[in-house]
Structure 1
Amino acid sequence: MSTISVRAQEKPLVDIGGALRFNYNYSSWKDAQKKRGGDLGYDVFRLNAKAEYKGLKFNAEYRFYSQDFGGAMLKQGWIAYNFNENDELQFGLIQVPFGITKYNSNSWFFSLNYYVGLEDDHDMGLKFIHLGEKWDYSLAFFKNAEELRFGSNSDVSNSRYSYDVSSIDLNGDSNLNIRNKEVNQLNGNLSYKIDNANAKHRFGVSAQHGALFNLDTEQMGEHYALATYYELQAGKFGVKAQIANYKYSPENLTGEPDDVIAMTAYGAPYLVAAEASIYTLGLSYAIPLEWGLVSSVVIYNDFGYMDKAESHFENSIMNVTGAMFTAGNIYTYFDLAAAKNQPWLGSEWTNALAAGTRDADWEMRFNINIGYYF
């Protein structure tokens, strides 16, 4: 990012930056695409802005996707106050402090947690962050997810970066069903650090509890999520391991299913099992390089398994093996993603993370994401 100094008393600092990314993919379940050798196209253009003055901070990121992927959207945007070098209070559209943050993954695809709203989620609220010598913790209250419509009975917009509870048309009749919204959510994240000359360890636990407001019954359901995690950085080698459990208990209309919940992002909703445990493990290794402009490569493998509580639901599995190359301001991800019952990695969209498909085949996607960051 470039730094611009603005003249005013103690010279506030403003950073303006962003990125332009393109994406190539070759998918095993798309016969016509395979015949033409895959597709290369536009991914996203984003703008970032940061500012700081007398302990007050500002941070925003706005993204421009194609219309089919949700169009333009605010990923995050918040103001903050630094009480001291250890304590900060943030307000606005902020990252939910749950599990391994900032990301519980190494690849461009993220982990299975992201697709059920438990990784890199951003909601509207207030968060206090303490970074100590041994202990870090975050406490947060979220009034709701991103709200774009503000109507008394308005459904959640599909135009958003991170997955949130929403509504969905189950019958193809243009009427939305299981219409819920996340409201009044509390989060806590606590971690303990052990740093020595050879390795850095982090052990952590997270808890999340909130209400679900049903737009048809106008009654409050509830939801919770719990996680325990471990991170290791030993020289060039890294580990990210996490176990998470969640449950949604909506107050839906009589006759509507309560073993699934609708979630949405990037322009389209799908169904998710209302209760599941997710196990993830990410391994990485950084290799310095002197290969033209290429200065380093990180190789990694991210594995995830979603164990759904309903016995007749088919579990979801996802594995991504890849490498991220750094060449000046250009970052390129080469990923080979394989999955069963994952909506973004297979032909079944609506039910993949819910009931799934019995005896589903492994589906593969080779993906290259190239981005220039400024």
Structure 2
Amino acid sequence: MLDIKWIRENEGALDAALKKRGAEPMAASLIALDDTRRAVIQKLQDMQSRRNAASKEIGIALSQRNSELAEKLKAEVATIKETMPAAEQEERDAVAALEDALSRIPNIPFDDVPVGKDEHDNVVTRVVGEKPTWTHAAKEHYEIGEALGYMDFERATKLSGSRFTVLTGQLARLERALGQFMIDMHTTEHGYTEVSSPLMVKGTAMFGTGQLPKFEEDLFKTTDGRYLIPTAEVTLTNLVAEDVLEQEKLPLRFTALTPSFRSEAGSAGRDTRGMLRQHQFWKCELVSITDAESSVAEHERMTECAENVLKRLGLHFRTMTLCTGDMGFGARKTYDIEVWLPGQDTYREISSCSVCGDFQGRRMNARYRVKDDKNLKFVHTLNGSGLAVGRCLIAVMENYLNEDGSITVPDALLPYMGGLTKIERAA
């Protein structure tokens, strides 16, 4: 969430930033809402001051035996008390209107973020590795998985409907191995603390990371008002909600391997074949909590940590800097890591690493204390996939496909496969 004080002082900068994102100018309407809020607050304060002053004047009038004035003042106080509840509600409404409007405004992009409308305007930052060269034909993951007998979409549809997958046998083990490999790598080599956190959260947690109120249609909600997490970013980031941290203890780095749940409300007709876009999928999430001075460098570090997973697996990928029109709601800058999928003959996103500045910290009221400084500052937050397990499984299947339809297990995963070196057709 943005600071209304900053908006008042930088009206033109906000509208210029929104224009870069393809959004309409909003500074004037936000300032008007803040003017209303300020006027209502002042009105209430004036009423309270007059009530207190009149109450004192009643005592003076009574001490002077001026009963007529005392009764007049009592009537005035009674009238103020009668009208104050309405004024207090007016204040609550004005504050809520401003906060709701502020909560729907996207974050301000960094100056070095390329300006553009959509994914076609993203910029290649680096390319790592090379595309595989084979004598046999490439296949898509669902062709490979079904031919092996370990990937079943028909049973998944019977169980849950579309956008679900049943994996069995050796592919189920390979998926589990990938998740374990990622979480082990990030905890033992990259310094992240593993967290086992809830998969259901309150609306306040979703608000803190920016999923609410703007993106409620993308979420699954339980009958008791909780939400299934669309990403462990929600729980990991909200670990510091309402906290005051000491600067010397920053950065905090968290990771979790969890299922994620997404309604995919805006993706009708997209990626309906296979398991690229699912309602439920495993993901290894990375979250960092930093001070203001460290967040940009931490963004580069986090992205490198995510890239290292693909490097260790021997997968070809490219890292993109997203343009202003393709960035997420809460991001100031985002790198997308796109892995090469031979079956589709294209790159597909497998990780998105974003630096959010104090945007989420302000929403969560998460702050830190600078030594010898009485003022508290909002923490800066970062999040990234390290990686999406299902998409990584797809990449391994398509890139390690052999001519006979089997899949070679990457060397990095061998310690997790119980001696299995190749995924072969089920007997």
Task: Say yes or no: TM over 0.5.
Answer: no
The alignment's TM-score, normalised by the length of structure 1, stands at: 0.26
Which of the two has greater helix per residue? 2
Q: Which has the higher contact order (CA 8 A, sep 6+)?
A: 2
